Structure 1
């Protein structure tokens, strides 16, 4: 069993209330209770049910629906007649819900527990599913026990909750894994939160408990707290950050230390300062490193001078070599900021560009100005692609010199990444104008041949005046499957669909009459497989030397794809019309002037207007004035580019006068010439998304301030299930540690970012965190940019909605100089922990003593107030009994001497049930006397308990203290509807008066007995009635004298579940408890042990075996006059 933190005044009060309530029930008139219950109004219940926002179900105890409210009918889409008589398990629940979950919940409700849980609900009509929150409780209506269910729709809340939870989880992982001390306050310098490291330094158990505290509530001195708050006001009033404030500090060993302090104002979305973020770091070791770096830089500068002289010699040799190479060689540099330069250009630039090398050194754009305007875009894209991939480039383009001369050149280049992030190309350029002239001639010849071939893709045909085919190109077989030779010399008529033949003959007749070419005619042509294919053919006359028509020829095209497209278009138009009418989004069209010409019916659901109200109206009438320029510019781009524009977000006025956010995509409606003449678009209600975005922006701004302002390295890694890792981001400190900018590592694997050796070691740690599925911390040693770095690194996994790890959050702290101080720090930490434990134990004992003192005064007062009236009642019961007995005797004498009273008196006697009344009066008086006796016993126990709670050390009867404690706990021992009773067995020995602190010893008895009761009740909840009957719960109390040691021995044992062996050696530790939050603090047995051992020079032990109960034994000296030390 586990120890509770006992609140005796509450237990005494509750016990007394129960006893008084039982007495009231014994003397209350049952008729009055029945009449009070009958005054409940059914009509008020109906009014309440139909006015609440949630759906309400009323079930019988078997789950059948008896009644519902109006909100339920609307939520589930059923009528009241359809709703009742069904079951919530089978008719209103998704089949995806666990089958055994609802019965288990139902049983707990029947046992008297209210239940709140989420559920997947179903609409009986269409079977659609949706998320709800259900609150079940058992109540009594009209004398009948029913189950009341409150059901709330959760669909709108789920999306926001997921985004909020992801943001909160990510934020908490980051700040708790930063080794730096971090805190944040509101404008009044009241703490809103901190990370775990700051909480530990501030003496708090966890970071949540700091909320609402000020610097005066923390273990700083008053002067320190005043200074901190003064600094806070300076930052918040100026609205500017105070970063890296370097300060000196005299340390305990006499050496000088350095601190790096940061204070950053926190602003809301409007830029108003709402609080402050602070960080603190000891940078003494870093200062020492800076001094060392300064010396190394001086040595490096000397070496650079020597190396520069060598480079000058190499450059002279390169100059002589480049002057004898055809064309030109050069280097081209592209800086991270987009500027460019030519660090080296050979003398060949004069012949190619007509420029001097010095001119390109001064202005790199001169070379690009001579690139042909039609080729400059391709050249720039090739440079950008090479800079990204670092691949060699071979490019050909034209130069257009100021003289008008045009040259073709070819450039071969190889890029190299520079330490400062720039890209340097080593290039060679050669003029290829002669080769290009030859290629142009070949291209022209090839174009002529290509035109002939492309024209031959269609079928070329001819036939004579008799309609006999005289020529068919090879495409005849491709299109229709026939060999051309099969139909040469034969009529063409069998190949034309009978329904289309008149149209073809009319076209031929018109060509024959006019002697001119006729336009295309469309008809169906027969294929070898018997199918018909749509074709289009023109026709021109074939004439002899005299101009007489001797036949016809033409070009035939396959138009089956076009015909299919036309048919699909017709079907698409019909489908689109249905889509427009049924779409959840608003579909509209407007003219160039912004006038609505069409609005789909969804305008009513989104903005509350009928379509007819806005047709002919301008968009300016209901668009927010601040958004109107953006909306007109968005539409103007559609008209100018004749291209679809997406993503316009504007506020529009609802019919109720409110403004709502919508998102629009607009597409052009073009005429035959391709000019945009109107706009058609689609709009979606995005107000929920906008609200969520605002909240996410605020969280992102807060997180970014921590991420960028932290003085420790933070890095984010993408992790996949196949153990592939890629970096997603480095904060500025991580860039400084590794010597690599965020852009250099983003999207790269560890090996790509740091090389195979370091990358492989990093990957092993990332894999270890991924497999462990929990945060890991380890020391790491790497060499970045020739500098060795020791870090204390923490990796924490981040989970997606499916519970899979998709990212790792890493933090790293420089620990190179801290290693030597770890041993000393550990010793100081142990001393601090010991001091803290002693302080906590002393504070808990002081609180307990104060509470016991207050309890004694309260109990004595309550006992006194109850004792006076109950003594009055008890004393008057004797006189009332005598008076009633005299009246009954007088009544008997009257009946003896007047046996035949008048009829009216007989009726009155029968109506009063006189004989029953005479018999019941004595029973009633006896019952009242029993009740007052019980109250007097309770009062006596309370007075004994109050009298014993004194600071005086005296000799007392231990049995009286045990009995008064048992009396106070009597309500916990009795059986009730929800729990079985607990049997108490007392085996008292012959104890002499014991010298002790009576109140403190009673508290020990109370703690041990309450722990036993809690353990037995918890076990009985899991047992069946038969198990309880076979082995009822029992507490046994024995006392005896150990003569050889002159000590009193008190044993309190139970037959409960016992205490596990791994917990038995910790049950007397302060703040150790196995109970849930709110049921125990872990101080009860700790204080009891101190009371017995330190205050009474005694011994408190525990013997327990799992399944066999627990036994607590107190051994206290009978007399301590010679050895007692009063605490």
Structure 2
């Protein structure tokens, strides 16, 4: 505890510390400077107990704000002393009621002098009554929804109720002692302070509308302010009540806006509108209704209906009174001048009458709304005439469409069918109901449907103005109907297509004839090609046979003389040996000749020479036999043959293409022959099949090797594997010719046996080899020829033919 240093300690102790009343000194920041003994005894404290405390610490919580405000007023010299009955905390944790007087003492430094005395029983009773009144008043002020506040002469808040705390969204501590500028900023604060000045100047009640932008929201308050005085009549500050009228202002603005909108609507409405009171006097009328009457709006107000429109008043006044009396509206009543004038061009209206009520439900008048329908009536009559003409036209169109020899249909741009005539139903084999919507798509042949849909969508997307195509309908009974479809668009006003109208012409007869001609042409071309190919093979067979025959005679002559030549040579060599034994010392001439001809080598090599000639002659005989087997000119009729001989003969002829050459690697032939019985067949034709398949395999492998490196070829050398099987279950034989070449795609494989189809460059293939082979195996021998292949997996041709041919197959 800080202590003031008195000038005379004895006097200070007598007058302050031992005074029979509580005294204390308080610094301006609320710290205890000195307390006397009476004050300590009153509260039960020792002097040193006050060191950590402050006056606020021992004051009752409900009174701390008021004490703080009083100290602030003393500090700011708004007043020189403060007196109040308060409650202070004792060491027994109870509150004692005392009378406190605070005075400002001007010294160095300045401080506050506090005088405390305990209240008498009478004062306690009076204080209790005052506190009750105060509590009741505070409770009453806190319960009102408006903001109540009190400010001092400097505009600092001394009091504000709970509604004010909620409205400003601050605590009491944050508000008490603060000015408007400190709470609301300089712009709004200056306005509020100026309002206070006006109240001080007039000393009368004032009312202000104050606009506050608070936390991002603009609010409008209606504030009533007045001055207040103390008991001595001194002016002490302002007090006020503030009501938030934001919603009311918004509602007023909304009402004004609605009123303006109603006025604008009433005056600008494209219909006649008027309001009458119960005496059928005009209260209000809009320009259009006034124009119908031919008078300005102002001349209607206050006048009765019969004064304005006397010629129709007898007709409409009873209706007006009916609405006023019954409270029931009359809606959409048709009124025409024909009822009361002889005009050549009578006007007509559609009028509604409805009652108007006040807030009590009492009918105060009626409203009238009228829409002129003269032009609409004329347009309706014209439309009816047009509709009748259109119906007649549509009926004619329907009759023509039903009798038309071509199919007629109509679709929307998305392809949805909305009309189909009887001929269309006949062509598709379906009813009109089945064709409507997307049903007509089901009538299109499945093979043509996707193409047709794509072409239709393309035409629609490109806004084509004419579209035609040919396709097939598949009828429910399986019949096919070819049609030529032609369409033209129906256009909207802006030129866009809204639908298509089309015709269907039956072209089945034309298509069938065209297909028959095409088929005959293809058969003719195939037959011609086969004849040419057969002629080529026949000529080749005759050439091979002729060559074989011409070679065979001299070879047989040579081969037949080799055995006698071997015997003669052996005899001569034995005779020469006898001479050498008998005459071991020949003449010098003979010795020179023996040395010159190298007799010893000649005797040793001559038998080997004859053996080599025999092997070569035998090889030529085998080649001639293979050529004769391949040509089979002497076996043109069907007979039982060894299939393996035909395969081997074909391989012998192709040997030159199989063996290694400088510009190409060898192709290995892998044979896996089963034991087969002899087979009835046309041997020459069957050899032709082997030749075609093996030649194609060699061509594919050679082309494949051109695309591979030497390392790739060595890692996977080219091979052709020939396998034969005896199929006991079906009494057939199977011949498989498989290569490890590049293989082929499914699209190529599926067309292999089509005439004239080839993958080879122009001039290197006719496209007939496999087609003829297929015909020979299937048609001539009653067998089957199939190919299995995948890209990168090589190709395999499998031939199956019966062991014995039946008369039907033949």
TM, length-normalised to structure 2: 0.37
Q: Which has the higher contact order (CA 8 A, sep 6+)?
A: 1
| Rg larger for | 2
